[in-house]
Amino acid sequence: MKVAVIGTGYVGLTTAVSLAMKGHDVLGIDLVEAKIVQLQQGKSPIYEPGLEEALGELLKSGTLKFTTQIADAWEAEILFICVGTPESADGTADLRYVFAAVSAVESLHRKAPRDRAVVMKSTVPVGTGDRIAELLREIDGLHVVSNPEFLREGNALKDALQPTRIVIGTDHQDAADAMEKLYQGVSATRVSTTRANAELIKYASNAFLATRISFMNELARLSGELGTDIVTVAHGMGLDSRIGPEFLRAGVGYGGSCFPKDTIALLQLANQHGISLTILDKVREVNTKQPTWFLEQLRKQMDDVAGKRIAVLGLAFKPETDDIREAPSLKVLEALQKDGASIVAYDPIAVDIVRPLFPKVEYTDNPVEAFIGADAALLITEWKECVQLDWEEIKASMAAPLLFDGRNAWPAKQLKDAGFHYTGVGRS
């Protein structure tokens, strides 16, 4: 099928690449000319495993192209809208880019009319798809579909190619048939529903996953006081088929482009309708305070961090991505700087993005070097480069063997046996 993807950010680029890999002719569209030039050269503006390699192959085959002109999409049967919906000052989703894209689609369609599905991939408040459908109601041939994404950063391309489910929200059979044709051959459960249901499925999914994380982080605080081990507790919980093992790992909190933004957007939506989502309010409160709680564990063992050399391992909000949006590392760096610590930081991908935000921090391109002369080391992101280490060499290089594991990813027993003072999140 002929497909156009408006917006070449994290969701848009992954969507475009995955659909081209499935054999569709895909055109990626973005107003930022520098980004389009970069993509045309086969260079991905985001880091995602396997994405740039696939991008290069698809450009060579001609199944994927990029442009700044939406007029070039005149042949498209399906138009995906994958633009950003950033958080406004009041926490609601900013839909300016969405409606600008809709306006561009309308202009294209008037010049080159044909039956088209206008597919909303961007995460938008419930009711947005219906608003767009009402705006386009009198334009023959345009049918609005909600088709939310469920991509995990660091696994996005795999998730796009092998989705756990495909949610299609529309009230028009031709559009539903076009989406089924688009996803033909993809083995995933289909959920055919209304646009509003599809939009709420997306928000509810992210809110529930965020809830699991914050619940475990709060339980980890209790575990630390009781002398129990949250890793063992989580394992025992996860064996219950009603619960499952995913998103039960305690740590320094969630970040990224989805959970923080989507939870507050859902809270604002509920408030607008006079509904109080008290559990979700608490989820955000726990997540906001988790990095502060983690640093309190450091201060308990180091009365004063001023002038002390602190190694911070991992800056991206999770492994296998360069995304630092709402990353716990930013709160940690800010707090340590305020306390007067001397910070050395490592991340295999995200250093160049963080450096302008914290120019006084020392950065290294080798994780082992971060430990040299350190009075304490903090694991914030569990990159394999930060976890799979020669601990004998590291112990010999540190000024003091203090380790604070913000992801419960370091080998606790091995480190304690080796003479480190190890502190995890809610670990005995």
Say how far residue 212 (Cα) sits from the centre of its chain. Answer: 16
Both tokens assigned to 374: 């350190």
Cβ-defined contacts of 415-420 (< 8 Å, 24+): 415/391, 418/391, 418/392, 419/395, 420/391, 420/395
> Angle formed by the axes of helices 10-21 and 51-61, to 10°?
50
Pairing assessment for the beta strands 309-313 and 189-193 based on DSSP bridges: unpaired
Both tokens assigned to 267: 């809270």
Q: Say if CB 181 and CB 1 are below 8 A apart.
A: yes
Q: Say if CB 422 and CB 403 are below 8 A apart.
A: yes
Dihedral (CA of 146, 147, 150, 153) sign: negative
Q: Please identify which residue in the block is written with the tokens 């391309």.
A: 157
| DSSP helix/strand/coil, 282 | helix
DSSP state for residue 383 in the 8-state scheme: -
| DSSP string of 155-173, one letter each residue | SHHHHHHS-SEEEEE-S-H
Q: How far apart are CA 15 and CA 400, in angstroms?
A: 47
3-state DSSP: the chain helix, strand, coil percent, rounded to 5? Answer: 45, 15, 40
| DSSP helix/strand/coil, 327 | coil
Give 375's contacts (C-beta < 8 A, 6+ positions apart).
302, 305, 308, 309, 310, 398, 399, 400, 402
Tally DSSP H helices, then E strands, for the chain.
Answer: 17, 14
- 258, 286, 332, 386: the catalytic one is 258
Residue 361, CA distances (Å) to 127, 174, 311, 313, 342 in order: 45, 56, 10, 13, 7
Active-site annotation holds for 258: yes
What's the order of all strands across the beta sheet hosting 116-120? 64-67, 25-29, 2-6, 78-81, 116-120, 142-146, 165-169, 189-193
Q: Please give the positions annotated as active site.
A: 258
